[in-house]
Structure 1
Amino acid sequence: MESPINTFVETQEAPCRANCSENLSAVEDAIYVIGGKWKLKIIIVLQELGNVRFNELQRMISGISAKVLSNELKDLELNGFVKRVVHAEQTPVVVEYISTDYSRTLKTVIMSLSEWGRKHKNNIREDVF
């Protein structure tokens, strides 16, 4: 005969596993869209500065090549995080990038990551020194 505790654990385990699986899937989706070395950096710069031209964006994000920046911007645009604005009436033609309202839904996530990063850096410093 099975004990009541084992039965309780088994009945509670299935929903927990399903919830865990859902959470893992959701995080995988998020990381797929905004993961990598550059995407969040690009989003942060655009949120902080507003309309930014390509060369200014490249200067703000040290170490990123023009080719990689171009590819990342295209990917972010396809996913609705960045809007590319072309001012064809100007000579030469001016292209600016801006963050979208959808991109700004990441603001609390970015702020939480930033705060965690500061705390982590302080913890490492305290442990090392």
Structure 2
Amino acid sequence: MPEDRNNKVSCSNYRCEIEVTLEVIGGKWKSLILWSLGKYKVIRFNEFKRIIPEISQKMLTQQLRDLESNKLVNRKIYNQVPPMVEYSLTEMGEKLLPILEEMDVWGKEFVSKFK
């Protein structure tokens, strides 16, 4: 995220808060990661590869870090060998689920009308 946009609370660098939302959850993978966490509640890092097979390990790591830095995803590390990492939604991340559900409904309707 550009340096001048780090303070999302003031939103002084955005025309409206929709821009903030799209920047935080936008892109090809973040919404799928959030949607998957909403469905499964807790997902281990390697399970994401099964759930979203098209995402590379590097991209998954980057997207999860972004979501974690924006306080939408919790990351829990278990001290064992090999290390195990689990991800879940934060309270703020869970608030996005109704929005994602509506996007899912809209997308299905759009596809059915225009395919």
TM band (smaller chain): 0.7 to 0.9
Matches of 1:42 and 1:24 in 2, distance apart?
27
Aligned counterparts, 1:48-67, within 5 A:
48-67=39-58
Residue matched to 2:72: 81
Q: Which runs of 5+ in 1 are unaligned?
A: 1-22
Residue matched to 1:15: none
Matches of 1:91 and 1:82 in 2, distance apart?
23
Please tell me whether residue 35 in structure 1 is matched to residue 35 in structure 2.
Answer: no
1:97-126 CA-partner distances (Å, limit 9, x unpaired): 11111101011111110110110011013x
Matches of 1:43 and 1:116 in 2, distance apart?
17
Asked which structure has the greater CA Rg, the reply is 1
Between the aligned residues of both structures, percent identity stands at: 35
Matches of 1:33 and 1:44 in 2, distance apart?
14
Please tell me whether residue 118 in structure 1 is matched to residue 108 in structure 2.
Answer: yes
1:27 is matched by which residue type in structure 2? I
State the TM-score, normalized to the length of structure 1.
0.74
Tell me the matched-pair count: 102
Displacement after TM superposition at 1:25 (Å): 1.6
Compare relative contact order (CA 8 Å, sep 6+) and give the higher one, 1 or 2.
2
Matches of 2:46 and 2:26 in 1, distance apart?
23
Matches of 2:112 and 2:36 in 1, distance apart?
24
Secondary structure of 1:122's counterpart equals helix
Higher relative helix content: 1
